[in-house]
Amino acid sequence: MLAPQISTFNGSQPARLQVSDGQADCWITIGTSTGATRMLRVSAVLLVMGVLGTLGGTVSSAFAQQSAAPTPTPISRATPVAAPVAAPPASEEPLAIVTSFAEKYGQAFNAAKIDDLIALWRATGTYEDETDGLIVTGHAALKEGFGNLFKENPGLRIIANVQSVRPVTKEVLMFEGIVTTSAPESDATVSSFEAVLVKEGNQWLLDSVKESAAVEGKAMLQNLAWLVGEWRDDNQDVSIETTVRWSSQQAFLIRAYKVRIDDEISHEGTQVIGWDAQQKTIRSWNFESDGAFGEGLWTLASGEWTIRNTMTLADGTRGSSRQILRPESADAYTVESVGRELGGVPLPSTGEIRVIRVNSESMTQVESAPNANVPGR
Per residue in 103-132, pLDDT (tens digit) is 888 889 999 999 999 999 999 999 998 888
The three-point CA angle 163-40-330 to 5° equals: 35
Pick from 118, 377, 65, 340: nearest CA to 228: 65
Residue-level pLDDT at 159: 75
Cα(114)–Cα(129) distance, rounded to whole angstroms? 20
Residue-level pLDDT at 350: 87
Residue-level pLDDT at 281: 81
Looking at CATH, the fold of the domain delimited by 228-359 is given as Lipocalin (2.40.128)
| pLDDT tens column, 74-87 | 333 333 333 333 33
Sign of the CA dihedral running 136, 137, 142, 148:
negative
Question: How many CB atoms are located within 10 Å of the residue 368 CB?
Answer: 15
Buried b (16+ CB within 10 A) or exposed e, 174-205: bbbbbbbbbbeeeebebbbbbbbbbeeeeebb
Sign of the CA dihedral running 109, 112, 113, 119:
positive
Tell me whether strands 189-200 and 203-213 are parallel, antiparallel or unpaired. Answer: antiparallel
| pLDDT tens column, 29-87 | 333 333 332 333 322 222 222 222 233 333 333 223 333 333 333 333 333 333 333 33
Cα(229)–Cα(335) distance, rounded to whole angstroms? 17
DSSP secondary structure code for residue 44 in this structure = G
Cα(224)–Cα(217) distance, rounded to whole angstroms? 12
* pTM of the shown model: 0.46
Residue-level pLDDT at 245: 94
44 — phi, psi (to 5°)? Answer: -65, -30
Is residue 328 predicted with pLDDT exceeding 90? no
Reported as type and span, the H/E element at residue 152 is helix 139-152
What is the mean pLDDT of the segment spanning 344-369? 69
Contact 244, 361 (CB under 8 A): yes
- Domain range list for the chain: 5-52+72-221, 228-359
Cα(130)–Cα(167) distance, rounded to whole angstroms? 24
Residue-level pLDDT at 216: 67
Contact 208, 222 (CB under 8 A): no
Instruction: Give the distance, in angstroms, between the CA of residue 66 and the centroid of all CA atoms in the same chain.
Output: 21
- Which residues, other chains included, contact 134 with Cβ-Cβ below 8 Å and sequence gap of 6+? 28, 29, 30, 31, 35, 38, 39, 42, 127, 128
| pLDDT tens column, 2-26 | 222 223 323 333 333 333 333 333 3
| pLDDT tens column, 300-324 | 766 778 899 999 999 999 999 999 9
Is residue 235 predicted with pLDDT exceeding 50? yes
Average pLDDT, the chain: 72
Cα(249)–Cα(263) distance, rounded to whole angstroms? 35
Residue-level pLDDT at 175: 86
Indicate the pLDDT class of residue 360, thresholds 50, 70 and 90: low
| pLDDT tens column, 241-288 | 999 999 987 889 999 999 988 888 888 999 999 988 777 788 999 999
Contact 296, 305 (CB under 8 A): no
Domain 5-52+72-221 indexed as CATH 3.30.70.270: no
Q: Do domains 5-52+72-221 and 228-359 have the same CATH topology?
A: no
Contact 148, 37 (CB under 8 A): yes
Sign of the CA dihedral running 202, 163, 77, 364:
negative
Instruction: Give the distance, in angstroms, between the CA of residue 324 and the centroid of all CA atoms in the same chain.
Output: 17
Cα(221)–Cα(216) distance, rounded to whole angstroms? 9
